[in-house]
Amino acid sequence: MLTNPILVITDHVGDPVQGFTLTGPSQQLLTLARSLTAGPVHAVALNPDPDMEALGAYGVSEVFTPDLCGVSPRVAAVVADAALAVIRQAEYAAVLNVSNYRGREVAGILAAKLHSGAAVDVTACKVVDGELQASKTVLGGTWATSFKVARGTPIISLRPSAVEAVAAEAVTSPTVTAVPVEYSAAAKAVQVVSSEEQGSDGRVALAEAPIAVIGGRGVDGDFTLVEELADALGAGVGATRVACDEGWIERSAQVGQTGVTIAPRLYIGLGVSGAVHHTCGIQASQKIVAVCDDPDAPIFELTDFGVVGDINEVVPQALEELRNLGVVNN
């Protein structure tokens, strides 16, 4: 275990009227931070009213609230400047954030300004011989790697769902510290005029889902079974590139090299052949299950459990069995 504190850059959803809620990926980051250090866990909250109850439940001892001075936390440079203002106040063992589009950019900025190193799309992190060791897949998911940041404060960006969020055994009452920030020209150069939350189908977000059900060419334009199985399991819904190209589902559902990279605890592919531009985005999945009618499909080289069959026959049987087990309602 490390002894120095770890700083976590947290994300919240909500608004000043309805209140802010700590996101699932941030809960996962805090869980990871507690497993790495015997020292305190600190958090950066880039909103005026952080979810103190959730932060305390996940073991945070101190919450830093940088003064935004009219800039938007949607801008990576703003987040990096705010985090730097906190980092320079203590000797942190590591800085953790979520590996999304903004988070990866923030990690790069922090590493450059701190003359250290950034590890993004990390799927696991542990302490080995008193140093942090991170793990991730590379080269289209064909290699699993483990490595260390050689100098300075490690900046670790963790893939959503790579760690299961677990509340701390002892709930804390975090102190709140306001932090003045001198924002860079890059942070001030971008003005967010307006933003609109992307419409949701009520399911868990694909990138954050612990279970993901993916439809491929084999669904032949009908995602009904994909959505039924996803709803039965409380899963996110995704698709291969060809399914999105055909207009069967929105582009935001695309998983793979040119889409979303996911790391669920359980991946279920329905009618997915396993082209490399798709599988490079799922290699970090803990368990891979596939149903495909082609026994020679490349997806079966990756699966922990594969079924050669017609999804229109296999999935209804699986749903019926789930109902018999009481997993879903009749």
Does 85 map to a domain?
yes
Determine the distance from the C-alpha atom of residue 259 to the mean position of all C-alpha atoms in its chain, rounded to a whole number. 14
DSSP letters, 123-181, are: -EEEEETTEEEEEEEETTTTEEEEE---SS--EEEEPTTSS-----SS----EEEEE--
DSSP 8-state symbol, 259: S
326 pLDDT band, cuts 50/70/90, is: confident
The enclosing domain of 52 has a CATH number of 3.40.50.620
Q: How many separate domains does the chain show?
A: 2
Does 173 map to a domain?
yes
Relative to beta strand 131-138, strand 143-147 is antiparallel
Does 197 map to a domain?
no
The enclosing domain of 216 has a CATH number of 3.40.50.1220
- Pick out the residues of the known binding site: 217, 240-241, 254-258, 271-278, 310-311
* Share in percent of the chain as helix, strand, coil (round to 5): 30, 30, 45
Torsion angle defined by CA atoms of residues 86, 89, 90 and 96, in that order, rounded to the nearest 10 degrees: 10
**Token pair in block for residue 163:** 């760690």
Q: What is the edge-to-edge ordering of all strands in the sheet holding 41-45?
A: 118-122, 155-158, 94-98, 6-10, 41-45, 60-66, 175-179
**Whether residue 225 is found in the same domain as residue 310:** yes
Name, in order, each residue with C-beta under 8 angstroms of 78's C-beta and a sequence gap of 6 or more. Answer: 46, 68, 71, 72, 183, 187, 190
- Pick out the residues of the known binding site for FAD: 217, 240-241, 254-258, 271-278, 310-311
Cα–Cα distances (Å) from 268 to 132, 215, 288, 299, in that order, read 32, 9, 6, 11
**Whether residue 95 is found in the same domain as residue 56:** yes
**Whether residue 152 is found in the same domain as residue 28:** yes
The model's pLDDT over 158-199, given as tens digits with 9 standing for 90+, comes to 988 888 899 999 999 999 999 999 999 999 999 888 877 665
**Whether residue 316 is found in the same domain as residue 263:** yes
Final residue of a domain: which of 154, 189, 224?
Answer: 189
Q: What is the pLDDT of residue 284?
A: 79
Please give the residue range of the domain that contains residue 65. Answer: 6-189
Does 200 map to a domain?
no
288-316 burial code (b ≥16 CB/10 A, e <16):
bbbbbbeeebebbebbeebbeeebbebbe
Does 201 map to a domain?
no
Does 52 map to a domain?
yes
**Token pair in block for residue 117:** 């190193």
Q: Is 140 a residue whose pLDDT tops 70?
A: no
**Whether residue 103 is found in the same domain as residue 248:** no
CA proximity to 22, closest of 154, 196, 201, 174: 174
The model's pLDDT over 84-110, given as tens digits with 9 standing for 90+, comes to 999 998 999 999 999 988 999 999 999
CA proximity to 285, closest of 202, 207, 201: 207
What is the average pLDDT across 138-159?
Answer: 87
pTM, two decimals, is 0.83
The model's pLDDT over 244-293, given as tens digits with 9 standing for 90+, comes to 999 999 999 999 988 888 889 999 999 999 998 899 888 878 899 999 99
**Whether residue 222 is found in the same domain as residue 183:** no
